[in-house]
Amino acid sequence: MELQKSAEVAALLESKSIRDEDLIEVIHHGETTGEKFYHPEGNRYIAKKRLSEATYYVVYSIEEGRYVIHSAYWHKSELR
């Protein structure tokens, strides 16, 4: 899976300790299961997946076979 991100997005992801491997796993999950949201105005998707003890969200678009990363974040929560 080929990822593309701007220098600004790369710096944001690094500051949040989000690795390319995390992005790939979340996008793969969204693409293979269909568990993703589509935002038609920006032609973007939002996929999520729980990895370890956190839920990761990735905002991306698909351009010429590449996955363009626009943003990503994660949070820890536990429902009881």
The pLDDT tens digits of the residues spanning 42-64 come to 899 999 999 988 999 999 999 99
- SS3 of 78, please? coil
Sheet holding 66-75, edge to edge: 3-4, 66-75, 54-63, 44-51, 36-39
Q: Which residue, among 16, 23, 17, has the nearest Cα to 2 in the 3D structure?
A: 23
Domain 3-75 is found in CATH 3.30.2310:
yes
Q: Where are the alpha helices (DSSP H) in the chain?
A: 7-15, 20-33
* Reported confidence tier of residue 79, pLDDT bands at 50, 70, 90: low
Please tell me the predicted confidence (pLDDT) of residue 71: 97
Mean pLDDT of 29-37: 96
Domain boundaries, the chain: 3-75
pLDDT surpassing 80 at residue 68: yes
| Residue among 46, 52, 47 nearest 77 (CA) | 52
